[in-house]
Structure 1
Amino acid sequence: MIFEETFTLPNGVEIPKLGLGTWRIADDAVVSIVRDAIGVGYRHIDTAQAYANERGVGEGLRAALSVGGMARDDVFLTSKLAAESKSYDDAKQRIDTSLNTLGVDHVDLMLIHSPQPWAEFRDGARFDEGNLEAWRALEDAYAAGKLRAIGVSNFERADLDNLLDNGTVAPMVNQILAHVGNTPFDLIDYSRSKGMLVEAYSPVAHGAVLQNARLAALAEKYEVGIAQLCIRYCLQLGLLPLPKTTNVDHMRSNAALNFEISGADMETLKLADNTDYGAASAFPVFGKKRHPDARH
């Protein structure tokens, strides 16, 4: 079962190979979703300060643990430092606020959500000093035992080099947008060459691939759904996928991954056409901007 499989981070911490994303799930609604996901078998929940649902994620976690006979450390919890946080003092305060909001004494993984504030995402401005300040706050929280692992999200090569060259602890994770039709192999390879695990958010392309006839035909060959095919694709690339769903049946099917995509079919998927996200190109977390990696 995929729920029992883990990757090992550079510091020896084990992280479940499949996580549940919680982006765009309201704080009140996420309580039952997290509880249900853990009940289904998920042991990895991904949230962020920008999602404004940390309180609900924490409540859902406690509800699941109370009925499941599990301990806090049986579930891997990820959150992300707000992209706008580019000073040490602000980042330090926000880390502590996340712990309080989640109602936990430690977070298993915390990431800098973006190298730029969302309003300036990929606009060309550099925030090297601010990212180092935020990173130093994460390093200190890691040293204090508040965080079991630290990393980044949406960081490109130059952003990674800034932390690698000037930080004390190397990032352990780079969480990026990656899916069939948009797989940044150069960035994945570079992140790995520096010892990072690469996580894939939106592995089903915000649902845009679910109407793709070619993917439907290939999924039918394996007697699975398109979402399962896309999630399995990420796993076979050595990525950690973070599919998001609010539907319990989809939670189960997204984890039904006991099949293997052939080498030839993997090559076909790697060469898939760029994905048109349609209306999903304007991501709310990016300040209503169109994500620059969104393909049209």
Structure 2
Amino acid sequence: MNLQSTTTLSNGVKMPWLGIGVFKVEEGPELVNAVKFAIKNGYRSVDTAAIYENEEGVGQAIREGLAEAGFSREELFVTSKVWNADLGYEATIAAYETSLAKLGLDYLDLYLIHWPVEGKFKDAWRALETLYKAGKIKAIGVSNFQIHHLEELIKDAEIKPMINQVEYHPRITQKELQAFCQDNGIQLEAWSPLMQGQLLDNQVIQEIAQKYGKSVAQIIIRWDLQNGVITIPKSTKEHRIIENASVFDFELSAEEMDLINELNQNLRVGPDPDNFDF
């Protein structure tokens, strides 16, 4: 396994196990440079969203980064997400076209429904199915969906989601959700894998990190990958972007995996998908 290693989604599309996220990175040179650093250092997956308000900068970075690295658009996996205000059939299609224009791309590799807004996500899903069948998106999925949301969606869907991107880190391991996703051919993906920095002083993970000569962040990212979860850690610093990807030269033991799994407290840093207001 290496930084370009991929998993095959249920529809046959290959998605990198590791990518860079740009949540809360504002438009400007810092954003552009972060994405370009990632591409230059071997990343082949970039995750953004309409609500991040940085799709234009991500698009600029992709164009410049690809040109400087000398490889094609087809070698990069780009994800964006439709925001809650645009969850409706026509509104979602329009939102997709807006995101595509801001990114300056001809297609997206993955497009997600950002949150499971009751009464709206089914119409949005129909729009994603339409875009997918028209060849405008390589893969479609959801974000922050719990089991009951997925059950409700799948009940009427023509196409099952290929991805479910959720809050996932050692304090919220979501084992039942992951098992449900596996049973239904849905790949789990982690956002906030480092719990927004709140796990960096955890003693259990620190001791494992010292054993391998790695950082706590590297241990958590490796734990994600060994649990079969795609992960997209965020950083704007080149040395940290490189460090986050330097996780393919060691392997955690079954005992160490269990020690980290046991840190679970079902504790979120983000909103509860069953109780959010935005």
Does 2:93 correspond to 1:95? no
CA distance in 2, matches of 1:14, 1:166: 26
| Residues 1:198 and 2:199 are matched in the alignment | no
Rounded to whole Å, the distance in 2 between the matches of 1:198 and 1:33 is 25
**Structure 2 counterpart of 1:188, from 178, 185, 198:** 178
1:60 aligns with 2:52: no
What residue in structure 1 maps to residue 39 of structure 2? 38
SS in structure 2 opposite 1:148? strand
Deviation at residue 85 of structure 1 after TM alignment: 2.3
The letter for the 1-side match of 2:153 is L
**Distance in 1 (alpha carbons) for counterparts of 2:197 and 2:37:** 21
Mapped partners of 2:221, 2:3: distance in 1 = 14
Q: Is the contact made by 1:136 and 1:167 (CA closer than 8 Å) also made in structure 2?
A: yes
Seen in structure 2, the aligned counterparts of structure 1 residues 75 and 160 have a Cα distance that, compared at 3 Å, is same
2:252 aligned partner, one-letter code: I
The one of 224, 246, 269 equivalent to 2:260 is 269
Measured at CA, do residues 188 and 275 of structure 1 come closer, stay the same or move farther in structure 2, by a change above 3 Å? Answer: closer
Q: Which of 219, 224, 230 lines up with 1:234 in the alignment?
A: 224
Distance 2:149 2:264 in 1: 27
| SS at 1:142 equivalent | helix
Query: 1: CA distance between counterparts of 2:272 and 2:198?
Result: 16
| Cα offsets for 1:160-190 (capped at 9, x unmatched) | 1122110111100000111112111001110
1:48 and 1:240 mapped to 2: Cα distance?
A: 17
Give every structure 1 segment of 4 or more consecutive aligned residues whose post-TM-superposition deviation is greater than 2 Å: 83-86, 273-277
Q: Percent identity?
A: 37
Q: Bigger shift: 208-217 or 40-49?
A: 208-217
Matched, 1:26 2:26: yes
Residue identity in the other structure for 1:20: I
Shift of 1:273: 5.0
Give the alignment's Cα RMSD to 1 decimal. 1.5
Secondary structure of the residue aligned to 2:160 is coil
CA contact (8 A) 2:49 2:82 kept: yes
Deviations 1:53-95 (A, max 9, x none): 0000000000011111111111100001112322111111001
Distance apart, 1:130 and its partner CA: 1.3
1:150 aligned to 2:151?
Answer: no
Structure 1: unaligned runs, 5 residues or longer: 117-126, 284-290
TM value normalised by structure 1: 0.88
CA contact (8 A) 2:172 2:267 kept: no
Letter in 1 for 2:90: D
Specify the alignment match of 2:272 in structure 1.
Answer: 292
Matched to 2:208, the amino acid is L
Cα deviation for residue 113 of structure 1 reads: 0.4
Q: How far, CA to CA, are the matches of 1:87 and 1:175 in structure 2?
A: 20
CA distances 1:82-140 after superposition (whole Å, capped 9, x unpaired): 12322111111001101101000000000000102xxxxxxxxxx1x411110011111
SS of the residue 1:182 aligns to? coil
Alignment of 1:202-217 (within 5 A): 202-217=192-207
- Rounded to whole Å, the distance in 2 between the matches of 1:48 and 1:176 is 14
Candidates 139, 155, 158, aligned match of 1:165: 155
Q: In the comparison of the two structures, how many residue pairs are matched?
A: 271
TM-score, scaled relative to structure 2: 0.94
- Give unmatched runs, 5+ long, in structure 2: 274-278
Question: Secondary structure of the equivalent of 1:224?
Answer: coil
Distance across 1 between alignment mates of 2:21 and 2:2:
16
In structure 2, what is the Cα distance between the partners aligned to 1:162 and 1:292?
A: 18
